[in-house]
Amino acid sequence: MTTTATTAITHIANLVTNDPSLGDGTPLGLIRDAAVVIEGDRIAWTGEAGRAPATDYAFDAGGRAVIPGFVDSHSHLVFAGDRTAEFNARMSGRPYSAGGIRTTVAATRAASDEELSANVARYLAEALRQGTTTFETKSGYGLTVEDEARSVRIAARHTDEVTFLGAHIVSPDHADDPSAYVDLVTGPMLDACAPYARWIDVFCERGAFGEDQARTILTAGLARGLHPRVHANQLGHGPGVRLAVELDAASADHCTHLDDADLDALGQGRTVATLLPGAEFSTRAKWPDARRLLGAGATVALSTDCNPGSSFTSSMPFCIALAVRDMGMTPDEAVWSATAGGAAALRRTDIGRITPGARADLVVLDAPSHVHLAYRPGVPLAGAVWRGGRRAV
């Protein structure tokens, strides 16, 4: 008979559990002078340090804070190249007429499988060092059957949270016949990608895919067992948010331009409003109003939207700082949204919290409180990271 070794993380000044039945009774479930016990890949015990059970091993947090691992529920990591010239021109106030997403599509198509996989691994390692222990990533820079299929296949080597985004934009190969491209996405492309993906996404926006096209694509994905996510209401007001709620999408992402009906729909449905402040930072666009969403009763997640064009950051702490400074969130709300909120956007209950039975994903901050994530922006505060019960950083 074998037993699994146990490890206690002790001398935690402030522990964020995201379980309101614990600690101070707030959504963060904050416990002061705490300890956590890990057994295998799970949290076995959480509570006040003086009541901690004996364990095989111990790690002294030294009076630092511990939070759940960040859950990044929206990223685009399967790509090649970058768009430095585009960003430089935008930030310098100069016109720039290169191809945007199409530039990345061309570079991605030209890259080998090995190059694409190495890029994904590199950005994931970068994110892990900053405390991200779960991430979703999408296809969308291939836009052919072969290139989309290899994108989701490569993504599936690195995460279980893979999204098929053949409907990112209309492929340049079908610029004169968008209907034919929708037929391709919902037919041969979906057939090739569905075995590797959990989710299906569509960019429902003027200049990308309209409401009827988006509904057709998402319902085709549902029929193949892929659950919807929607890029919605980023560039202007449109039908994306209400379509997401109608189809019980796990998340409506961006949510920058909302009317009262959108807020009511999000407040009454299960669809999470995922906010992506890195995109607004990198494009100098209007900030989403998180305060308005929270006031309507919506569940809010924060994510990086890591991609080479509009948000080339893998830093969840950076997004927390932006959300607090520019989107009306409190530090507590932003940390919850970057952990438990992201888990909700992935319809997961085993991550985003530090409570018995949850996966042992957690971050020891080089700070006495989670508030320092917004208080000390740009400072690398992830002192140690556990993922699945193993110390990864």
Question: Using an 8 Å Cβ cutoff, are 361 and 134 in contact?
Answer: yes
The encoded tokens of residue 376 equal 């000390």
Residue count of the chain, please give it: 393
Phi, psi torsion values for 103, nearest 5 degrees: -65, -45
Question: Using an 8 Å Cβ cutoff, are 11 and 62 in contact?
Answer: yes
Identify the helix (H) or strand (E) that includes residue 64.
strand 57-68
The encoded tokens of residue 121 equal 């691994």
Beta bridge partners of 385: 363
DSSP-derived pairing of the beta strands 31-39 and 6-15: antiparallel
Distance CA 341, CA 347 (A): 10
pLDDT at site 2: 55
Range list of H helices, the chain: 84-92, 101-110, 113-129, 145-156, 178-184, 190-193, 211-223, 240-246, 260-268, 277-283, 290-295, 316-326, 331-336, 342-345, 372-375
Beta bridge partners of 75: 306
**Per-residue pLDDT tens listing for the chain (393 residues):** 557 899 999 999 999 999 999 999 999 999 999 999 999 999 999 999 999 999 999 999 999 999 999 999 999 999 999 988 888 888 898 766 555 888 899 999 999 999 999 999 999 999 999 999 999 999 999 999 999 999 999 999 999 999 999 999 999 999 999 999 999 999 999 999 999 999 999 999 998 999 999 999 999 999 999 999 999 999 999 999 999 999 999 999 999 999 999 999 999 999 999 999 999 999 999 999 999 999 999 999 999 999 999 999 999 999 999 999 999 999 999 999 999 999 999 999 999 999 999 999 999 999 999 999 999 999 999 999 999 999 999
DSSP-derived pairing of the beta strands 57-68 and 300-302: unpaired
CB burial of residue 312 (10 Å; 0-12, 13-18, 19+): middle
Going from the C-alpha of 186 to that of each of 206, 213, 223, 224, the distances in angstroms are 20, 10, 10, 10
Range list of H helices, 256-304: 260-268, 277-283, 290-295
CB burial of residue 245 (10 Å; 0-12, 13-18, 19+): buried
DSSP-derived pairing of the beta strands 31-39 and 137-138: unpaired
pLDDT at site 32: 97
Q: Which of 239, 242, 195 shows the shortest CA–CA distance to 221?
A: 195
CB burial of residue 297 (10 Å; 0-12, 13-18, 19+): exposed
pLDDT at site 320: 98
Give every CB contact of residue 174 below 8 A, 6+ residues apart in sequence: 180, 181, 184
3-class DSSP state of 280: helix
Distance CA 360, CA 354 (A): 7
b/e for 83-95, b at 16 or more Cβ within 10 A? beebbeebeeeee
Question: Using an 8 Å Cβ cutoff, are 329 and 322 in contact?
Answer: no
The encoded tokens of residue 155 equal 């993504």
Distance CA 125, CA 75 (A): 14
The encoded tokens of residue 382 equal 């992830």
pLDDT at site 236: 94
pTM for the complete prediction? Answer: 0.96
Distance CA 244, CA 258 (A): 13
Distance CA 6, CA 328 (A): 40
Rg (CA), the chain: 21
What is the tens place of the pLDDT at every residue in 372-388?
Answer: 999 999 999 999 999 99
Question: Using an 8 Å Cβ cutoff, are 100 and 86 in contact?
Answer: yes
Distance CA 64, CA 364 (A): 7
